Amino acid sequence: MTTRTKKKRKPAYVYLATGPDGCKIGLTADLNGRSIEHRHNDGRDVAIVWSLWVEPDAHAVELGLLKRFASKRVRGEWHALDAVDVVWLTTLDAAGAAEVAASWKPTRKPTGTTPRTGCKVRPVVYAGGKKIDESGKRYGRWLILDYAGTHPTNPNAGAMWNARCDCGTLRVICRTNFAYGGSTSCGCLQREKCSARRTTHGRTKSPEYSAWRSMRCRCHNPDYFGYKNYGARGIVVCERWRDSFENFLADMGERPSPDHSLDRNDNSGPYSPENCVWATAREQINNRRNTRFLTLDGVTKPLTEWARDLNISRQTIASRIRYGWPVERILTATVQ
């Protein structure tokens, strides 16, 4: 007759890792290897911030911690722990770990009866020979509320649970659907993903989009009425902006006011973040290639500004220029 020897529990590290998804409670005998594994699988932002060497039954300590924070579980061993939980966990010593290990026991709920047969049932479900209570756990957008009995027409379908989606929808779902990733929401997640795929930036009717579209047409569409003054002169849109309105908006920002439009500092240069600004009509007039500037007493202004400041018509100043008057006489002579 052979006697079965009890399997010896191996010592190991119980550790806490933090990352974008929250905090993970795990078990390993090789901290360095597990840290590399986390960075490879979960991203560079995941780091092990606390560990405790436990002898002899580290597994019971891990299960006790998972039970303690079961209501804050996000997925798998990832939990949404607050600052108080993290402080408590990182100050845990060997004595505290022993208490945590001793507290671990399968959870049992008060018994009830099935409505059809009157047989006693427990809100504890057997899966793979282990008792599992899903109450309070979260799977995707589902928050499991309580046990709802067996399937009304197919007893082999598995346990049914009352669940609430993050959008507020209440539904009775089968454990085999949510526990293994078959159902992550009531359908709202899929609708949001479909909407996101159909939506690009949502600003098609904005003035910034109109400016971006006109800019591309002027430079790259030979049939556009303004192409001869832009694309035909070799003016192009930079690679960053040509096929991406999002990049254009990120670099230029929103138009400051309805009086502003897109302008280039260098009229012979391309449309690019370094050469473009939002400018008013008056500022753009000063930046035109055919704008005539006059200088008097060290002050240089466009012809139109001199006419407005001196209360002289633009045509009068233009006529004086054609007749060859000197600048001082053009701007100081009174109108007869």
Contacts of residue 24, defined as CB under 8 A and 6 or more positions apart, other chains included, come to 16, 17, 18, 38, 46, 76, 77, 78, 79
Cβ atoms within 10 Å of 101's Cβ, excluding its own: 20
Query: Regarding predicted confidence, which is higher, 71 or 240?
Result: 240
**How confident is the model at residue 123, as a pLDDT?**
46
**How confident is the model at residue 115, as a pLDDT?**
44
The model's pTM is: 0.36
Percent of the chain at pLDDT above 90? 23
How does pLDDT run across 83-116, given as a tens digit for each residue?
888 888 888 888 888 888 887 655 444 444 444 4
CA separation for the pair 198, 168 (Å, rounded): 25
Q: Which residue, 203, 202, 230, 200, is CA-closest to 217?
A: 230
Percent of the chain at pLDDT above 70? 83
Query: Regarding predicted confidence, which is higher, 162 or 1?
Result: 162
Q: What is the mean pLDDT of residues 147-166?
A: 82
- Domain ranges in the chain are 12-103, 125-197, 207-285, 293-332
Please state, in angstroms and as integers, the Cα–Cα distance from residue 229 to each residue in 221, 233, 281, following that order: 12, 6, 18
Query: Regarding predicted confidence, which is higher, 165 or 196?
Result: 165
Q: What is the mean pLDDT of residues 130-149?
A: 86
CA separation for the pair 279, 290 (Å, rounded): 18
Greatest mean pLDDT among 20-34, 68-82, 224-238, 294-308: 224-238
pLDDT confidence bin for 217, thresholds 50/70/90: very high
**Structure token pair of residue 191:** 């609708």
**How confident is the model at residue 143, as a pLDDT?**
93
Helices 94-103 and 58-68: crossing angle in degrees, nearest 10, is 70
**Structure token pair of residue 144:** 């499991």
